[in-house]
Structure formats: C-alpha cells, structure tokens
C-alpha cells in the first residue's frame, strides 16, 4: 500500500434530490488534494423551510480544508448542480471548469453576484482534458434535459472514475449531443473503470427511457387540433423541449412568444453559445395580443406551479396584457416534482374555472424524463463493468434500490449519503469517516444553519401563533401601568366572545399585583410565570398554547 | 309554474376534494324547506393553513336559515363527510340520519363533544325510507372504501334526485354490500330521475374500476414471500382492506397487531355494528414483541405519512416497543393523496435508511380506489338517464371534465362550485343565486374565518420572521431608557457578524433622540417611523424585510 488513497465524499445530492456537491480526493489520509464536482441548490418548502430563499449544501468541511481544494467542476447548468456556485464561491475561491454553455451561465451568475467571471474556465469535450491537482478530467457529452450535460471521466493515480452526472441514453435529443453508444463503448474499452458514480433519479422507472425526438409528432398534432390559443410550459432549461414546442407551434401556423425571464435567458445563452440554432423567430407579448388566438402559441415558465412564474400569473388573470379564455389550451410538457402537486393543481383548477383545457404529460405522450431509467442504468453498469457502483443523485430509497441493482449485476456498491467519506482505493468501497454535512439556508442575503433554530422558530410561530407580553417595573420592582399583550396569528376572541388579549392582561396584572418582591426582582422566574399564565389562559379560551415572548422593562431611578 | 322550486346548493365539496356539505331545498323561493347532506372536514396544510386543526365549511347561510332546515343526512363515515358534524351541530341542532355503522360513529363523535347522541337516527337501507320535511329519503347501499356508503334517493314534489355520495361499482367489496347492478336497474326503472348529483373524484381514470376482491391474492403472495416482519398501512376506515390484509397475514402464519387509535376504533365499531364479522384475532404490541419477526404482521395507521400516525412513528424508531429492522417490509396498501407526497416520502426514505423494503401500491396490485372511474361514471349516467347530471365531490377540473362527459352522453349538466345555488325544478339546471361560501378553520377550540387574517399573519410570520420593538415614553414624550428589539425567526447577526437586534436598537434610539415632540406624541406616526427603520436595517443587514410589531408604552405622571 502506497499510503495514498482515493476518496469520495458527497456533501449534497446523496440522500436527497437537489443541491448536488461531490468531493473527490487523492493523497495521504487527511492530506488528499480535493476536487469538487457541482455546487447546486435545493428548493425550500413551507413545511420545512418557510421564508427561505434557497438551500445550499453545508460546505464547512470543505472550507476548513480549502487549501487542499484545487478546483470545481460543473457538470451541467441545472440549478441543483450550479445554483450555489455564486453563493458559496467566495468561501472557496477556486477555478471553475465547465463546458461552454454551462460556463456561460456560470459566468452570468458570477457577474450578477459581483464575482470574477474569469474564475470560470471553459473546457471542451473529450479528448480535451484539464488537469486539476492529481486529477485529469475529461468531459464526455451525455444527453439530459439541458444542453451539454457531461459525464466526467476522472483519471486518478488510483484509477479511473466515471462520474455520470445527470444523463439519459438518448441518441436523438433534438438539441445538443446525443448518447453516442459507440463512443461510450470506446471509452469503456480504453481502460478499466474503478468506480461509476451514477445518477439514481429514475431507478424506479422500469421501462427503457424514451427519446426527446418522440415528442415532436404528438405535440405537433395536439397543437394543430386546437381552435384557441395554446400555452405550453416546461422547465426553462429544457432547451430541446422549447425547440420541439416552438417548432410544433410554427408548423401549426402559430407565432411563438416566450414568457418568463428564465426562459428567455436560457434560449439567449443557448443561441449565443451556438448550442441552439434555428430556433423559430419569437414575438413579444405586445405583438402577441394583436394576433388571432388560433395563430398564437405561448411557451411559459412555471411547470411546477411556482407562484411567481408566468403560468401561475396567467392562472390568476391578465399577465403582460395576455389573458387565457374558454377554448384555449394549456399544456404541461413536464412532470410534477413530488412536493409541488398542490401548486400545480392550484394552477390547473384556476385554468379549469376559466374554461381552459389543461393537458398534462398524458403518460409520456407530451413529456419524457431527462434521467436514465432502470434498464438504462443496468446498461451503464454492464458497459463500464467498474469495480464498484456508487449511486448518487437520489433520495435514500433511490440509492438503496440502485445499489441493489449493482449487486445483482455482481458489482460492489455502497450507499453513501451526504457526509459519508468512502475510501475507494481498493476493490470495494470502505467507509473512511463521517463528516458533518447538512443544509444551509440562504435567507435574504444571510446564510443560516438549518439547525440554528431560526427556521424552527418560524415554524413554531406559524403553527402556534404568538402572544407578546410587555411589562414595566420601576426601581423598586413595582409594576408601572399594567401588563400589555399583543397577539399575532391568534384569534382575537376566546370563549363567549371575550377579547383574548384582555383576558390575558387581566390575569397577568392580577398575578403581578399579588406577586412578592422576590419573584418580581427575578427576570427569569417572572418571565416563566408570565408565560405559564398566558399559555393557560390561551388553553382555556382557545384550546391552544401559543408561543409567548415576554419583555420586562426595568426603569432605573433617575 | 307552481311557484315552488327545487334547489341544490353545495357549501363544501364542489370545487375541492374535502369538507362535503350539500344543501337541497324545496318550496317557494327563499322559503324552501332545507335538507343538508353530509358535513365533512378538509385537512389543513402548512402552505395555506399552518397550525389549523381542521377545516370545516362556512355554513353561515345555513345558520341564517336554520329554521328552514329539517335534517342532516350522513352518507358515510369518512371524515370529509362526517368530520364536521360534532363541530357544527351546535349551530344547527337538527336530527341526523345515517345507516347503522355511520350512525354509530356519528354518535361517538357527538358523545366526545358532549352533544346529545339521540340526535342521531339510524335508518335502514331501502326500501326503508325516512321523511325529512318535503323530502322522502332512501339509503341505497353502494360499495366504497368504507362500509355502508349510501346513495341517497331523494324523492321531492318536483321529482327524484339521486345523490350518489362516494361510490364505486364493486360487486365484491369484501366487507359490506357490493354494487348490486340488478337492484340499481330496478331503482332506475322505478321512476324518472330528475338529477344525479355524482361523485367526480376519479373522472380522469380511464379504465373501469377494479374490485377490492382482486387484492387478496397478490397481497397474500407478497406477505408469504417475506422473511421478516411485515407492516402494512391503509386508511383506518377501509375496513375491507384491513380484513384483506389481516387475512393475508394469518394465511402466512402471522399474528396480526393493529397499531393506531383510529384503526382500532374503526374495527371495533364495524364489529359492534355487525358490519365486520370473522376478523382475525389480533394481538397487543406487548405480545407482538415476543414473537419471531417472520410470524408477525402489523397493520398501522399513517398511509399519508402523517407525523403523528403509527407509520411515521415507526419510521423514527421504536414505537410501543416495536422497531423496524433490515429485512422487514413496509407495504403502502394505499394511494398518496396529492399534497401528501412529502410526508409519505419522508417515511419511505427513513425506512429505506433502516434497510426496510418499502412496497407501494405497485400500479394497483396492492391497492384499488374506492371511487368510480370514468367508464363507471358513464355507466351510471346511462343507468339513470336523468334530466341532468350535477358533478360534485371534486376539484374544479374534475367537475368540468365530469360535466363534459355528461354532455357527451346527451345529458344536461352544470358545474356548480361551493356557493352556487342551482334551481333544478325545470329540465335544465339554472343558477338561482350565489351564496357566500368558504372555509372556516377549527384552531384549537376556536372557529376562525379563513379570511379573518389570523392564518395570513401566521404565514407572514413564517415567511418573514418577526422583530418586536418596545419603547417607553414618559408623560412629556421623552424616551425612558432605550428602544428594545427582540427577534424571532430571524438570524441573530447581519453583515460582518454585527448583532442584528443591537444594530436596530442603535438606529431606533438615535432616531428617537432626534425626533421632535410632534412625532413622539403621535403613536401612529411613531409606530410607522420605527417600523420603517427596522425594515430598513434588516434589508441592509440580512436582505429581508421582517414583520415588525411596535409596542409603545406611555407612563403617566404619578
């Protein structure tokens, strides 16, 4: 044994879908030179992270070892792979490597955050390589639901790693490079593969994935059949789908209008970087309102029912002068991500109430996934026949099922969730260490730890409401005036229509007038006693214990 | 025209799935005698109704016309049909009619709320009838996912109404009466049907519904194949499924233990009322822990991932002495209701991390729906050939699609969402009036209007956090001490690690010391100015505007 080892450490994306961040290291234990692959975000929800803007991986470990980090690779420009770059780069300040389209979007993010764009380096597809510390990296094009996704071929002194990133086996992806089976076989034949770190998203989908190209005809047919305006939504970054939709619109003699900032930006960058050519001419919303509805097609943001996106805006009424009407059609050329159902159904029902026909992916007729299904994953296992498969990009259930698949194929596999450092130097993965990993919330401009209690307090306020109590005591611990209670998120009246705040104030004042000097002079005991009284009154009056905050002001003698 | 009319007015359940409450009326306009069918709840969620315990229909219109109300019918004992009974009965105080099993559960609810159980009257199935005001009601047994669901045959002076309630066409429902096609045809032949008010839940399901009886073999086979403990969940009220599961467990030489209060209650009531016979003997959790795992089967509550239910408790660790382990299996013999995905996946992933195999409905192998699918709805349209079909029990998209189906069959139909009073005296439905309808939140023991602002404040607190400011002024409007700020749900530190509250206090104190007497003497202006300062500091320090509450205390001269 040389004393050097090869390690793999997911800091995000393993045990969840979102905020991907995977560390590789090579060197003597504790001295490995490090490489970070992807730096993405996850999205907050009201249940667990109300008010939060974005969720980023906790990279405290990486920051503590930042002198060992040689670079950051971004596999593709989806937010769950690139979204945290501009937020966390200042803590890392290392060169960023990506393919052209991805790099252009990375530079936009850096620019908007006032960070140096020249930290982002464009790397061409294989055979071009870039050396980052002990790692030589090649970007192998794969098909996905955004242009230029890349499988990273990582050559290390301990062997070759294939980091699949997000991919599907699609030879005809409409925009960008397809899955090139011959090239993949050549890659597999080049040298043995130690480990495949592999996308697990669709491991539960039993059928082979379908090509993006299969959508063109059904979508075109659907649009041709519509007498009114057609509005379609998909992910803004799914440039191939945007093209399929737009071309179907044009074929049906419709002018195409893109709505939503993210969508226009994606199409713009895709065109500027040469990834997208021949996209139909689009018109502005101002031009759109002048056209007969049967000659109009909108392609809009908001496939997940996001409140601020164009689809939700249209579901609420007029948006940029455009209004949906009876006889129009709205097409979800997308899948609802688990957790977003309520938002999507809100939009669907609002359209229904307007008389708009809503069409969803219809079991795959109008949407295909960008991830490899189970048979495709099995194909990749067989293709590379690595020493080991390490499932990534999935919730625990996905990782577990994917590891099971690998075992069935006779390959070693390990379930390594965020924070699990694997030593993959040998023929089987071995857990080397557990690192503190987790989530950090971007909240406004502040980064707050998921465990700091800030969000827990918000959830408590939302569940329980708040009673704020203020009392003023003089230098002799005598009550000045009366106790004052303000309520937020609580009903104003309790039993028999009594004002709840007043009932609390009366009880508090009575208590304070009777309380002895010893209690009145002790802030902690006073606080505790008053909280108890407020909660008790609340239980009696409204059957619920609110959060209580007590502010005791003590006026000094002048 | 006789001057009398027949009206239909949904107060809940039409335009949503949940809190069913449908009013029928017959008489001179504005003087109709009224009948209420069902009084259910909907369930709150963190996005729109944090902290709320239950959602009930706003029955203000019914209360205002309570002297015209003659009775309440409960079609079946699902919470979305019966759950609001004990909460709203005190406002109505009318006799309640239901079949035996449903009535037993209704009485339990009344008893627990300290209300008179004898308000609940048991009515046998047709041909038995009960007369309520101008209505003669017959309970026609239908199959559903709870015993004794009943289609209500409502004979009125203006013709016959069929209120389907929740149903499926299942001739072999395992527990309770099946769909009896011959009896239905006889009913249809009795006399013309004016209107069918019809369940719309599964209108988007294109295939004929499958029978509960088809599940026994696949479930038994699945359980037999398991080497470890088997835990299965379904809705507690799905007594037939409980029986299928329990019998499959027994066939696999397992002892069956029910976990979860709701489940034990349902089985108890079903047995007491004679609906359920021959249910396998069950064991207690204490007995269960003594058995080898391969001889044990738990049937537990929590098919929707509810945090307090048994399934979630087991996913967190030991529950009543029982712990899941590697090699055990957890079966969701249920469907995830849209909106509950996050909670269900939380449970699934926690089990996955324990090494437990999770099996879901597997495309219908281990679960069938309790609602009629599209072909079954079409069958019912053809069966009764009513003058009109009024879709109910569905979101807007369901009602719209169902109305479209009826139109295709050549029948009149109308989409009547909550609050839409239809005059159905003639051959086609006509909107008579729009009534104020909506939701009321049961919050602790208080009923609060959804529009009262209480829940809106909670959501704001959760999204924005709270800064509480207290200042004390003397009788000359001079500041006593300094401004005091307490934060809740906000990061403690802003830019450069400065304490956020202190930065706010410094700015406020500086402002107050400079402020003129005119401002200091005006509470409203002072409040507004201080809020502005706090928000401004927050924007600078943390990039976010919190909720702000200011308490100004003015001490009178002594």
Q: Give the pLDDT score at A363.
A: 84
| CB < 8 Å to A341, chain B | 338-339, 341
CB contact under 8 A, B481 and A553: yes
Q: Do residues A301 and A429 both lie within one domain?
A: no
Q: Do residues A299 and A425 both lie within one domain?
A: no
Give CA–CA dist A181/A42, Å, rounded.
32
Contact B59, B85 (CB under 8 A): no
Give B54: exposed, middle or buried? Use CB within 10 Å, 0-12, 13-18, 19+.
Answer: buried
Q: Give the pLDDT score at B361.
A: 84
* Residue B40: inside a domain: yes
Q: How many CB atoms lie within 10 A of CB B145?
A: 26
Q: Do residues A103 and A80 both lie within one domain?
A: yes
CB contact under 8 A, B551 and A348: no
Q: Residues A414-442: pLDDT tens digits? A: 999 999 999 999 999 999 999 999 999 99
Q: Do residues A402 and A532 both lie within one domain?
A: no
pLDDT per residue, tens digit, chain B (558 aa), is 459 999 999 999 999 999 999 999 999 999 999 999 999 999 999 999 999 999 999 999 999 999 999 999 999 999 999 999 999 999 999 999 999 999 999 999 999 999 999 999 999 999 999 999 999 999 999 999 999 999 999 999 999 999 999 999 999 999 999 999 999 999 999 999 999 999 999 999 999 999 999 999 999 999 999 999 999 999 999 999 999 999 999 999 999 999 999 999 999 999 999 999 999 999 999 999 999 999 999 999 999 999 999 999 999 999 999 999 999 999 999 999 988 999 999 999 999 999 999 999 888 899 999 999 999 999 999 999 999 999 999 999 999 999 999 999 999 999 999 999 999 999 999 999 999 999 999 999 999 999 999 999 999 999 999 999 999 998 888 888 889 999 999 999 998 889 999 999 999 999 998 998 889 999 999 999 999 999 999 999 999 999 999 999 998 765
Question: Domain holding A545: CATH number?
Answer: 3.10.20.580
> Hey, what's the torsion of the CAs at B431, B436, B439, B445, to 10 degrees?
-140
Q: Do residues B218 and B125 both lie within one domain?
A: no
Q: What angle do CA A76, A81, A84 make, to 5 degrees?
A: 130
- The long-range contacts involving B240-243, CB below 8 angstroms and separated by at least 24 positions, are B240/B145, B240/B147, B240/B173, B240/B174, B240/B175, B240/B176, B240/B212, B241/B145, B241/B174, B241/B212, B241/B215, B241/B333, B241/B367, B242/B266, B242/B267, B242/B279, B242/B299, B243/B174, B243/B175, B243/B276, B243/B279
Do strands B69-73 and A230-233 pair parallel, antiparallel, or not at all (unpaired)?
A: unpaired
Asked whether the bond before B528 is cis by omega within 30 degrees of 0, the reply is: no
Contact B179, B169 (CB under 8 A): yes
Record the tokens describing residue B138, joined without a space. 């017959």
Closest CB to A553: pick one of B472, B491, B538. Answer: B472
Q: Which chain A residue's Cα is nearest to B500?
A: A446
Closest CB to A468: pick one of B348, B353, B468. Answer: B468
Q: Do residues B333 and B353 both lie within one domain?
A: yes
CB contact under 8 A, A397 and B457: no
Helix, strand, or coil (residue B54)? strand
* Residue B114: inside a domain: yes
Q: Residues A233-263: pLDDT tens digits? A: 999 999 999 999 999 999 999 999 999 999 9
CB contact under 8 A, A446 and B542: yes
Decide if B557 touches A, using CB distance below 8 A. Answer: no
* Residue B454: inside a domain: no
Contact A530, A469 (CB under 8 A): yes
Helix, strand, or coil (residue A261)? helix
Helix, strand, or coil (residue A33)? strand
Give CA–CA dist B404/A358, Å, rounded.
13
CB contact under 8 A, A481 and B555: yes
Closest CB to B338: pick one of A50, A341, A493. Answer: A341
CB contact under 8 A, A51 and B494: no
| Cβ-proximal residues to B122 (8 Å cutoff; 6+ apart), any chain | B98, B99, B100, B103
Q: Do residues B198 and B338 both lie within one domain?
A: no
The answer to whether the Cα torsion of A360, A361, A363, A369 is positive or negative is negative
Q: Is the pLDDT of residue A558 over 60?
A: no
Q: Residues A461-490: pLDDT tens digits? A: 999 999 999 999 988 888 888 899 999 999
- For residue B371, the number of C-alpha atoms closer than 13 Å in the C-beta half-sphere is 20
Q: How many CB atoms lie within 10 A of CB A11?
A: 25
Question: Domain holding A319: CATH number?
Answer: 3.40.50.10710
Domain of A479?
Answer: 465-554
Residues of A (291-310) whose Cβ lies below 8 Å from B: none
Domain boundary among the residues A343, A363, A383 is at A363
Determine the angle formed by the axes of helices A100-112 and A85-92, rounding to 10 degrees.
80
Among B114, B112, B153, which residue's Cα sits nearest to residue B136?
B153
Q: Residues A327-374: pLDDT tens digits? A: 999 999 999 998 899 999 999 999 999 999 999 988 889 999 999 999
pTM for this one?
Answer: 0.95
Record the tokens describing residue B285, joined without a space. 């959790």
Q: Give the pLDDT score at A557.
A: 61
Record the tokens describing residue B50, joined without a space. 């944090």
Q: Which residues of A51-89 are buried (b: 16+ CB within 10 A; e: fewer)?
A: bbbbbbbbbbbbeebeebbbbbbbbbbbbbbbbbbbbbb
* Residue A449: inside a domain: no
Q: Do residues B44 and B164 both lie within one domain?
A: yes
* Residue B416: inside a domain: yes
CB contact under 8 A, A454 and B465: yes
Q: Do residues A388 and A499 both lie within one domain?
A: no
Decide if B480 touches A, using CB distance below 8 A. Answer: yes
Identify the band that residue A2 occupies on the pLDDT scale cut at 50, 70 and 90: low
CB contact under 8 A, B543 and A491: no
Q: How far is A354 from chain B (nearest CA, A)?
A: 10
CB contact under 8 A, A50 and B15: no
Record the tokens describing residue A253, joined without a space. 């003699």
- In the numeric block, the tokens 């924007």 are attached to B539
CB contact under 8 A, B472 and A555: yes
Give B427: exposed, middle or buried? Use CB within 10 Å, 0-12, 13-18, 19+.
Answer: exposed
Q: Which residues of A446-482 are buried (b: 16+ CB within 10 A; e: fewer)?
A: bbbebeeebbebbbbbbbbbbbbbbbbbeeebebbee
Among A223, A277, A288, A231, which residue's Cα sits nearest to residue A255?
A288
* Residue A323: inside a domain: yes
Q: Which chain B residue's Cα is nearest to A497?
A: B446
* Residue B134: inside a domain: yes
| Cβ-proximal residues to B537 (8 Å cutoff; 6+ apart), any chain | B494, B500, B503, B504, B507
Q: Could you report the predicted ipTM of this complex, rounded to two decimals?
A: 0.94
Decide if B370 touches A, using CB distance below 8 A. Answer: no
* Residue A450: inside a domain: no
Residues of A (203-262) whose Cβ lies below 8 Å from B: none
Domain boundary among the residues A330, A363, A396 is at A363
Decide if A346 touches B, using CB distance below 8 A. Answer: no
Give CA–CA dist A53/A43, Å, rounded.
8
Helix, strand, or coil (residue A64)? helix
Q: Do residues B482 and B443 both lie within one domain?
A: no
CB contact under 8 A, B445 and A543: yes
Decide if A404 touches B, using CB distance below 8 A. Answer: no
Q: Do residues B30 and B130 both lie within one domain?
A: yes
Residues of B (451-470) whose Cβ lies below 8 Å from A: 452, 454-455, 457-459, 461-466, 468, 470
For chain A, the average pLDDT equals 96
Question: Domain holding B168: CATH number?
Answer: 3.60.15.10
Q: Give the pLDDT score at B558.
A: 53
Decide if A274 touches B, using CB distance below 8 A. Answer: no
Residues of B (112-171) whose Cβ lies below 8 Å from A: none
- Total tally of structural domains belonging to chain A: 3
- In the numeric block, the tokens 């969840």 are attached to A16
Domain boundary among the residues A389, A415, A444 is at A444
Q: Do residues A35 and A133 both lie within one domain?
A: yes
Mean pLDDT, residues A295-302: 98
Record the tokens describing residue B436, joined without a space. 């104020």
CB contact under 8 A, B446 and A544: yes
Contact A543, A509 (CB under 8 A): no
Number of H helices, E strands in chain A: 17, 28
Q: Which chain A residue's Cα is nearest to B457?
A: A489
Identify the band that residue A124 occupies on the pLDDT scale cut at 50, 70 and 90: very high
Contact B421, B9 (CB under 8 A): yes
């Amino acid at each position: 044994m040389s004393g050097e080892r090869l390690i793999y450490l997911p800091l995000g994306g393993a045990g969840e879908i979102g905020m991907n961040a995977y560390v590789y290291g090579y060197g003597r234990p504790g001295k490995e030179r490090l490489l970070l692959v992807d730096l993405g975000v996850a999205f907050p929800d009201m249940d667990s992270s109300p008010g939060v803007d974005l969720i980023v991986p906790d990279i405290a470990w990486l920051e503590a070892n930042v002198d060992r980090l040689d670079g950051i690779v971004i596999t593709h420009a989806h937010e769950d792979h690139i979204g945290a770059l501009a937020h966390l780069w200042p803590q890392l300040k290392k060169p960023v490597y990506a393919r052209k389209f991805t790099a252009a979007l990375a530079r936009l993010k850096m620019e908007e955050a006032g960070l140096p764009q020249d930290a982002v380096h464009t790397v061409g597809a294989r055979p071009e390589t870039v050396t980052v510390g002990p790692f030589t990296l090649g970007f192998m094009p794969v098909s996905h639901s955004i242009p230029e996704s890349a499988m990273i071929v990582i050559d290390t002194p301990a062997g070759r790693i294939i980091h699949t990133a997000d991919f599907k086996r699609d030879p005809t992806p409409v925009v960008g490079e397809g899955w090139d089976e011959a090239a993949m076989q050549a890659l597999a034949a080049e040298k043995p593969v130690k480990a495949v770190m592999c996308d697990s998203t669709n491991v539960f989908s039993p059928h082979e994935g379908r090509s993006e190209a299969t959508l063109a005809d059904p979508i075109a047919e659907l649009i041709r059949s519509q007498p009114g305006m057609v509005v379609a939504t998909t992910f803004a970054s799914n440039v191939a789908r945007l093209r399929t939709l737009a071309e179907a619109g044009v074929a049906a003699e419709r002018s195409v209008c893109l709505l939503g900032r993210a969508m226009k930006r994606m199409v713009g960058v895709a065109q500027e970087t040469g990834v997208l050519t021949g996209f139909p001419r689009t018109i502005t919303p101002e031009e759109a309102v002048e056209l007969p509805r049967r000659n109009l097609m909108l392609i809009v943001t908001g496939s997940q029912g996001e409140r601020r996106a164009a689809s939700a805006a249209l579901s609420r009424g007029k948006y940029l002068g455009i209004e949906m009407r009876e006889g129009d059609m709205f097409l979800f050329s997308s899948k609802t991500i688990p957790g977003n159902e309520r938002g999507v159904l809100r939009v669907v029902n609002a359209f229904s109430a307007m008389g708009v026909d809503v069409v969803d992916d219809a079991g795959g007729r109008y949407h295909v996934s960008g991830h490899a299904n189970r048979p495709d994953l099995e194909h990749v296992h067989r293709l590379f026949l690595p020493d080991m498969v390490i499932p990534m990009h999935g919730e625990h259930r996905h990782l577990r099922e994917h590891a099971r698949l690998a075992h069935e194929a006779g390959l070693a596999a390990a379930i390594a969730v965020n924070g699990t450092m694997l030593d993959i130097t040998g023929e089987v993965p071995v857990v080397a260490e557990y690192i503190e990993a987790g989530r950090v919330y971007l909240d406004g401009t502040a980064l707050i730890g998921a465990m700091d209690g800030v969000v827990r307090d918000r959830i408590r306020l939302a569940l329980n409401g708040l009673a704020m109590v203020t009392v003023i005591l003089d230098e002799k611990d005598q009550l000045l005036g009366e106790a004052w209670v303000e309520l937020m998120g609580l009903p104003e009246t309790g039993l028999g229509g009594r004002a709840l705040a007043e009932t609390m104030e009366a009880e508090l004042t009575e208590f304070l007038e009777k309380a002895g000097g010893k209690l009145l002079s002790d802030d902690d005991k006073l606080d505790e006693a008053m909280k108890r009284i407020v909660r008790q009154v609340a239980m009696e009056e409204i059957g619920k214990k609110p959060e209580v905050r007590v502010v005791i002001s003590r006026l000094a003698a002048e």
